Structure 1
Amino acid sequence: MTLDQAHPGEQVAEYQTGPILREQLALYAEASGDSNPLHLDPAFARKAGFDDVIVHGMLGMALLGQLLSTQFAAFTLNRFDARFVAVLPVGQSLRCTATLAERTTTMLTLDLEAFDNAGKSIIVGRASLTPPA
């Protein structure tokens, strides 16, 4: 189905990441300045009640944002927000989806969601885009 034919409530795009590995967490921590040991130190993460380190929420949001930049590159992004609803353990992948929420002649609104390998919702969000001229 093309975006032009989609109706509200229908999925219009999907993006699958590869596994998010420790090296990616370390690179993200260095780039972002977020060196919280919960994301980098397995012993610290275990003391906090996790089996291993967990993925930075903002890294997950950035990966969800890749859905927008790859599938809607010709559009202008006006707004992108997200809410973190669960933690993502290291080594998991994200399946990111975009569902048409609303369309007007000047704006497209998408509901976004990122799921772990088991299909559990990790991040939910919304984006507003302006179609290309």
Structure 2
Amino acid sequence: MKAITKIPFSELHVEMQLPPLTKPPVTREQLVQYAQASGDLNPLHTDDEFAKSIGMDGVIAHGMLIMGFLGQYVQELAGTESVVSNFNMRFGAMTKPGDVITCSGVVKQLTESHGERIAVLELIAEKAPGEKVGTGSAALTCKIEHD
């Protein structure tokens, strides 16, 4: 997994491209483990024969697994300096075993209110450039330090 370089909140600016997070290829074992951990035991995610019987090429990843990748990305961006809120995601293309997911973001808005700085982020999870498997947004909130 490619790590994110920490960016101090004070260095964020509108339309800033945030460093990406690239996950290792999705594996079948990961899909089985996620199914067990989440309780989503739909065979579409773990059984190729079942997936083929309903017209798919094979198993696909849980959408919530991809949301988890984006959640990890936002939390790593926030670090210990910020708090994540208003995190959401819309699902796009299907993710299959072997797909490498890259999470990225852009700062869309910066505001200050009630002693806090808030950065609104636009988020993207892609399996290839331009092939979005998820899009979303989140807010990072940081307390303003006074001397």
The two structures share one fold, judged by TM-score above 0.5? yes
Identity across aligned pairs (percent)? 35
2:131 to 94, 102, 120: 120
Mapped partners of 1:24, 1:80: distance in 2: 24
Structure with more strand by fraction: 2
TM superposition shift of 1:118 = 5.2
Mapped partners of 1:4, 1:14: distance in 2: 19
Mapped partners of 2:129, 2:110: distance in 1: 31
Structure number with bigger Rg: 2
TM superposition shift of 1:117 = 3.4
Q: Is the CA contact (8 Å cut-off) linking 1:13 and 1:99 kept in structure 2?
A: no
Give the alignment of 1:1-133 within 5 angstroms. 4-74=10-80, 75-105=82-112, 106-117=117-128, 119-133=130-144
User: What SS is found at the alignment partner of 1:97?
Assistant: strand
Mapped partners of 2:35, 2:143: distance in 1: 35
Equivalent position amino acid for 2:131 in 1 = K
Mapped partners of 2:12, 2:78: distance in 1: 14
Mapped partners of 1:43, 1:35: distance in 2: 15
4+ runs of 1 displaced by more than 3 Å? 1-7
Unpaired runs of 5+ in structure 1?
none
TM superposition shift of 1:68 = 1.2
Unpaired runs of 5+ in structure 2?
1-6
The superposition leaves residues 70-129 of structure 1 with CA deviations (integer Å, 9 ceiling, x where unpaired) of 222121012100000111111111010011010112211000000003540110000011
Please report the RMSD computed on the Cα atoms of aligned residues, expressed in angstroms.
Answer: 1.7
Give TM-score scaled by structure 2 length.
0.82
User: What SS is found at the alignment partner of 1:68?
Assistant: helix
User: What SS is found at the alignment partner of 2:128?
Assistant: coil
